[in-house]
């Protein structure tokens, strides 16, 4: 899936998704929830190991 398509699913900007992927962004809990929902996974799957 492209960053643009994923950003659309998350209702976030593509440049934000790019920054998250590169580790340049601090992701808020609200946006972690959006990412998890778009991926179809529980929030814990994104935060395990932090």
CB 47 within 8 A of CB 31: no
Distance separating alpha carbons of residues 42 and 47, to the nearest angstrom: 9
Total domain count, the chain: 1
pLDDT value, residue 48:
87
Find where tokens 């340049």 sit.
Answer: 24
pLDDT values of the chain reduced to their tens digit, one per residue, 50 residues: 999 999 999 999 999 999 999 999 999 999 999 999 999 999 999 888 76
Q: Report the CATH number that the domain containing residue 9 is assigned in CATH.
A: 1.10.260.40
pTM, to two decimals: 0.85
How many Cβ atoms from other residues are within 10 Å of residue 45's Cβ?
A: 10
Domain limits for position 24:
3-47
Cα angle 24-29-33, degrees, rounded to a multiple of 5: 105
């Amino acid at each position: 899936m492209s960053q643009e398509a994923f950003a659309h699913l998350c209702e976030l900007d593509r440049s934000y998704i790019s920054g998250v992927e590169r580790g340049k962004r601090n992701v808020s809990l609200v946006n972690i929830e959006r990412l998890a929902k778009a991926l179809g996974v529980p929030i814990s799957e994104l935060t395990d190991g932090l």
